[in-house]
Structure 1
Amino acid sequence: MSAAIVLGFMLLACLGLPIAFAMGVAAMVALWVTGVDFSMVPQRMMHAVNSFPLMSIPFFMLAGELMIKAGIVERLISLANSVVGRVRGGMAHVTMLSGAGLATVSGAAVSDASALSAILVPSLSKIYDRPFAAAIVAAAANLGPILPPSGAMIVYAFMAGSSVSVGGLFMAGVVPGIIICGGFMLLCSWIAGRRGWAVTGDPFSVKNVLVELRRSLVVLLMPVIVIGGIVGGAFTATEGAAIAVVYSLAIGFLITRKLSLSDLPGIVVRAGITSAVVGALIAFASIITYLMTVDLLPQQLSVFLRAMTTDPLVFMGLVAVILFIVGMFLESNAAYIMLVPLLHPIALQYGIDPLHFGFVFVLNLVIGMLTPPVGVVLFVVSGVTQVPMRELVKSAWPFITLMYAVLALCIFFPAIVTTLPRALGY
């Protein structure tokens, strides 16, 4: 029965129904078929979302919207441009560094994709062909959920329970995120050289870097304060997210002065809608999780997998294949909510480090945001840039392949993921 519920939900989602609606339909049908009392629904749904740690999601989403509207993207681009200097593929490097900088204040790929597409694609299109320019932006935006603070990691940690800390998962993404960003830049240089694209940018100057660094310092301090405070134990992830909102408001109103009171209603509504979708998913998923528990699905799945293999690496490979398929058809938040309660406890039984498994799980689904047919980042970039999806996917495959290569490295060499958080006491 539980497997039928999951498959039914995935089918509804793949048919184009809104994710939260599909989850709700699957949950109600499951209750009706199993004969469980419907009166338990409101209580379980309310208990699922009545969580202090879960409040960090809307706060970080609101902070990201505020920072983008406050004009930090332009400052990050100027700083990246001064650092890169005059090199082949220089504008692509600027885009990647800007995406990495924006990731440290937004934590979401979709908002980053929208902002970077609108600002950078017109300039990139003057140097590279437009599909490749859009692919560069899509790859840069996908750094959002990998580098801290990451909304995806918050959802994973919430669904996994006390065995995974948000701060530890944040730190687990730092080294792989830097490797991916550096790999993207090398890939862009190679493609630019192969296609004979011109050298771009102004000559490197230490003076220009210092000027731009001083101008952007107030922006760069935000992730230092927020992430540093969470990792150092000065405050929780929720408190850090609230501080990020206050900091964003101060930057927008007092420093860049690009934020106005008339902007706030739209910002709050956008952040509220996204947060409501995540909350609805978690609430409806609590019913399905309950039915799975009653149906002993986690135990059955554990027995099945252990009958197939007792090797943790083989198990990780099987999970990677499952998530590769799921990521192509299902929105990532829904995948976290449906699959983490099933697979995370089994990973612990295999003796896999919870931070290692958690980051690999997140990275796998983050890559899914770039893979067709349901790659949400691809849809956003295609919509903003008006680049046909087929051409965008064709140009994005080198970046997708590189991310899967890094995923494989993280699976086979756990130290890439775990060294930094362990050094910090996680």
Structure 2
Amino acid sequence: MTLTVILIFFGLALLGTPLAFALGFASLGGLLAGGIELSVLPQRMMHSVNSFPLMAIPLFMLAGELMVRAGIMQRLVDFSNSIVGKLHGGMAHVAIVAGMMLAAVSGAAVASASALGSTLVPALRQNYDDGFSSAVVASAANLGAIIPPSNAMIVYALMAGSTVSVGGLFMAGIVPGILLTVGFMALGSWVSWRKGHQLTGDSFRLGHALRETWRALPVLLMPIVVVGGIVGGVFTATEGAGIAVAYAMVIGFFVTRKLTVADLLPSLFNAAVGAAMVGALIAFAAGVTFLFTIDMVPAALAGFLENVTSSPMIFLLIVMVVLIVVGMFIESNAAYIMLVPLFAPVALSFGIDPLLFGFLFVFNLIIGMMTPPVGVVLFVMSGVTRVPMTKLIASVWPFVALQYAVLVLCLAFPGIVTWLPRTLGY
């Protein structure tokens, strides 16, 4: 009965209410139906966000805001241009490499999309059509949630409890992130060649490449210091995020000298707004998660799926298909908060490596950020570049298909995901 009321309230509220409030209504309805003291709801909400690991999200958001305002994009673009060379899709390669570098700073696809779109699309449009230019940048931005540090992985680790670590998930994303980057570059060259685009990019010159590498070195060292410290056990993910903020301020004030005191307030505001959205979702979802737990929904779901199949691979395929559909309609952070407490325990009961399951879960929903009708990255790119959604969707589907191909590859060969974190002791 309680579960039925939760689903009814959630469905009705979702029709005309933001998702956080829909979750709140669902929690309230479930508590009333179950005869549970209403004071449980605020207690659960406070407990869910009173988390030291959760502090990493606003700090990484702030670090990304500061680095973008510090003028690092031009250094990353110059560095990328110096190492790519002159070839088909050369400017697209520059955008993808710059996106990979920015991913190691921002930790979020939406932030990367905004920064890359405003910086690179005007230059890309001088050589390519609007749709291809925006699709390339959207794909490069999506690397922001796969290559560490990744806010999405922090949220997943928080919702999954002690079964996975943030550092382990960070390391799980490196090899697939490199595969995606290489794949995007190859696809960009093929599309550019097929469309008859001219060779673009500057010819490779060793001296120039070394000079641009030296200029970009302070920026390139940031992920090594932050992620390396987290993986090496020198500090936690939250402490690493704090170090990233300090590092970004040093870069902005003393290296690029483009960050000003006036930039601090809008950076803090934007990071606070982004973190508040994630925090509200987590807080309101805590009541639903609590009701799922006391109603033993994960155990019931595990029993149902075990009756359907005893194969871990079939279970993974079922979950992946569910997430593909969910990713098309629900914002990814909301999906983590609602679905991780349900599926992660079931995956453990099937004996699936929690690192593999966690990465596949996150990766699937990240791809959903580029799939209509609710592709957040697509909406950001369309807003920044003024490219109609229809034209953007028509150009972006090969890059989406490539991401799903890498997802299937990781599913078929789990070592792609687990080799590095296991080698490092996770």
Q: Same fold (TM over 0.5)?
A: yes
1:9 aligned partner: 10
2:37 aligned partner: 37
1:182 aligned partner: 182
1:381 aligned partner: 381
Matched, 1:288 2:288: yes
Compute the displacement of 1:8 (Å).
Answer: 5.0
Q: Is the 8 Å Cα contact of residues 110 and 141 (structure 1) preserved in structure 2?
A: yes
Matched, 1:196 2:196: yes
> For structure 1, which segment, 359-368 or 47-56, has the greater mean C-alpha deviation from structure 2 after superposition?
47-56
1:62 aligned partner: 62
Alignment partners' CA distance in 1, 2:416 and 2:11: 33
Q: Is the 8 Å Cα contact of residues 10 and 330 (structure 1) preserved in structure 2?
A: no
Write out per-residue CA displacement over residues 310-338 of structure 1, whole angstroms, 9 at most, x where no aligned residue: 11111110000000010001000010011
SS at match of 2:258: coil
2:229 aligned partner: 229
Alignment partners' CA distance in 1, 2:311 and 2:10: 31
Alignment partners' CA distance in 1, 2:297 and 2:233: 36
List gaps (5 residues or longer) in structure 2. none
SS at match of 1:143: helix
- Please show how residues 17-416 of structure 1 align to structure 2 within 5 Å: 17-416=17-416
SS at match of 2:367: helix
Alignment partners' CA distance in 2, 1:26 and 1:174: 37
Alignment partners' CA distance in 2, 1:406 and 1:232: 28
SS at match of 1:200: coil
Residue 359 of structure 2 aligns to which amino acid in structure 1? F
SS at match of 2:399: helix
Residue 61 of structure 2 aligns to which amino acid in structure 1? M
- Distance change >3 Å, CA 315–CA 424, structure 1 → 2: same
Compute the displacement of 1:10 (Å).
Answer: 5.9
Alignment partners' CA distance in 2, 1:7 and 1:331: 20
> For structure 1, which segment, 126-135 or 237-246, has the greater mean C-alpha deviation from structure 2 after superposition?
126-135
Alignment partners' CA distance in 1, 2:186 and 2:344: 34
Alignment partners' CA distance in 2, 1:85 and 1:21: 50
Compute the displacement of 1:132 (Å).
Answer: 1.3
Identical pairs, percent: 60
Alignment partners' CA distance in 1, 2:276 and 2:294: 27
Compute the displacement of 1:281 (Å).
Answer: 1.1
Alignment partners' CA distance in 1, 2:12 and 2:413: 35
Alignment partners' CA distance in 1, 2:195 and 2:359: 35
Compute the displacement of 1:282 (Å).
Answer: 1.1
Write out per-residue CA displacement over residues 161-218 of structure 1, whole angstroms, 9 at most, x where no aligned residue: 1110110100000000000110000000000111100001111011111000000000
- Distance change >3 Å, CA 391–CA 10, structure 1 → 2: farther
Residue 270 of structure 1 aligns to which amino acid in structure 2? N
TM-score normalised over the length of structure 2: 0.97
> For structure 1, which segment, 273-282 or 89-98, has the greater mean C-alpha deviation from structure 2 after superposition?
273-282
Alignment partners' CA distance in 2, 1:257 and 1:7: 54
Alignment partners' CA distance in 2, 1:86 and 1:367: 30
Compute the displacement of 1:35 (Å).
Answer: 3.1
Compute the displacement of 1:355 (Å).
Answer: 0.4
Q: Is the 8 Å Cα contact of residues 75 and 216 (structure 1) preserved in structure 2?
A: yes
Write out per-residue CA displacement over residues 244-286 of structure 1, whole angstroms, 9 at most, x where no aligned residue: 0000011111111111111111111110011111111111111
Compute the displacement of 1:16 (Å).
Answer: 6.2
Q: Is the 8 Å Cα contact of residues 19 and 331 (structure 1) preserved in structure 2?
A: no
Q: Is the 8 Å Cα contact of residues 313 and 412 (structure 1) preserved in structure 2?
A: no
Q: Is the 8 Å Cα contact of residues 146 and 363 (structure 1) preserved in structure 2?
A: yes
> For structure 1, which segment, 102-111 or 26-35, has the greater mean C-alpha deviation from structure 2 after superposition?
26-35
Alignment partners' CA distance in 2, 1:126 and 1:11: 48
Alignment partners' CA distance in 2, 1:227 and 1:357: 21
Q: Is the 8 Å Cα contact of residues 79 and 212 (structure 2) preserved in structure 1?
A: yes
Alignment partners' CA distance in 1, 2:4 and 2:85: 54
Write out per-residue CA displacement over residues 106-160 of structure 1, whole angstroms, 9 at most, x where no aligned residue: 1000010001111111111111110111111110000001000000000001111
Alignment partners' CA distance in 2, 1:133 and 1:326: 27
Alignment partners' CA distance in 1, 2:376 and 2:326: 13
Residue 35 of structure 1 aligns to which amino acid in structure 2? G
- Distance change >3 Å, CA 93–CA 145, structure 1 → 2: same
Residue 333 of structure 1 aligns to which amino acid in structure 2? N
List gaps (5 residues or longer) in structure 1. none
Alignment partners' CA distance in 1, 2:91 and 2:36: 58
Compute the displacement of 1:38 (Å).
Answer: 1.3
State the Cα RMSD in Å.
1.3
Residue 189 of structure 2 aligns to which amino acid in structure 1? S
- Distance change >3 Å, CA 9–CA 205, structure 1 → 2: farther
Residue 262 of structure 2 aligns to which amino acid in structure 1? S
Compute the displacement of 1:12 (Å).
Answer: 4.4
Alignment partners' CA distance in 2, 1:175 and 1:106: 18
Residue 328 of structure 1 aligns to which amino acid in structure 2? M
Alignment partners' CA distance in 2, 1:148 and 1:188: 23
Residue 336 of structure 2 aligns to which amino acid in structure 1? Y
Compute the displacement of 1:240 (Å).
Answer: 0.3
SS at match of 2:214: helix
The size of the alignment, in residue pairs, is 425
Alignment partners' CA distance in 2, 1:240 and 1:353: 26
Compute the displacement of 1:20 (Å).
Answer: 1.8
